[in-house]
Amino acid sequence: MHYAFMQKKASAPGKIILCGEYAVVFGHPGIAVPAEFRVEVTYEPGAKDWEITREGIAGDVEKSNAYVHTILDACAKQSSIVPGTLHINNAIPLGKGMGSSTALTIAIARCLFGDAAEVHEPPLRERILAVENIVNPGHSGIDFAVIWEEKPLYFKKGQPPGVITLPKEVTEVLTHAELIDTGAPNEATPVLVTWMLSRHVAGEPQIEEAIHTIGACAARLIKGEDFSRIIRDHHQAQIKLGIVNAETQSLIKKIEQEGGCAKVIGAGGRTGGSGMVIAFRESKKHKG
């Protein structure tokens, strides 16, 4: 018997954390927005084995294909899936704090699971979150939430994420924000989070102070406090955490001297690059 399989497509955006890196792990709130960069996945079932093709930003193909197979294995634990061809067209910077791995997980799982779960199965979001929990264990949840919703979100661990309307000033500066690539860190995000947790458990005063400063930024932003000041305070706290290298600090200092503000988005790095930096033009409320 011959079965006709239809090609399926799905996509997901990257993410930008405006405030909350690391602090969300400790129960503080964070705010994130979807990025304009996306990963698109095309799935054509019906082959004996999986075939993965790519275009756009691919990185180390061998490592990337291994990650894709981890996603496929996790999806197979949720539902019966048919091997086929996966074509990945990625525009999200890899390993630089923009949620590329979570976006790929969501896009692939959407292709494999379809637009709706069967009656006897959990809701689609729940099934794909289960896949995310397997392939990205220990994640805070903020990446998945904002990439799934594709809207600005207020996130606090253990609570349902809430779609929010950002203050007008924030919306305006986001429109003209610039992303600067400082290079990939040498450490993966889970390694950095584990390092931060160990320092927190050890009771390092500098870590506690920095986490609380970052944790307060979400409430300050929603209240409409000066955006430049919030971002500058957030940046200084990230320096205290030890995840912003000297070169990136110099870059952001120059941006601040010119009247703007900037911060690392994502986990940053202990060594190597600091990932992506988001830079904002001079705020009307703050002249530097």
Domain segments of the chain as ranges: 8-163, 168-280
pLDDT at residue 274 in the model: 95
Rounded mean pLDDT, 88-94: 95
Fold of 168-280: Alpha-Beta Plaits (3.30.70)
Fold of 8-163: Ribosomal Protein S5; domain 2 (3.30.230)
141 by DSSP, 3-state: which?
A: coil
pLDDT at residue 220 in the model: 95
> Residue 3: is its pLDDT beyond 60?
no
Rounded mean pLDDT, 81-94: 94
pLDDT at residue 146 in the model: 95
Tokens at 272, concatenated = 């190597």
> Residue 120: is its pLDDT beyond 90?
no
The residues that bridge with 162 in the sheet, in sequence order, are 154
Which backbone phi and psi does 277 adopt, to 5 degrees?
-110, 135
Rounded mean pLDDT, 30-40: 96
The residues that bridge with 16 in the sheet, in sequence order, are 33
Instruction: Report the helix count and the strand count for the chain, using DSSP H and E.
Output: 9, 9
pLDDT at residue 286 in the model: 41
Kindly report, residue by residue over 234-249, the tens digit of the pLDDT.
Answer: 999 999 999 999 999 9
> Residue 33: is its pLDDT beyond 50?
yes
pLDDT confidence band for 253 (50 / 70 / 90): very high
Query: Is 8-163's fold the same as 168-280's?
Result: no
Residue length of the chain: 288
Kindly report, residue by residue over 193-234, the tens digit of the pLDDT.
Answer: 999 999 989 999 899 999 999 999 999 999 999 999 999 999
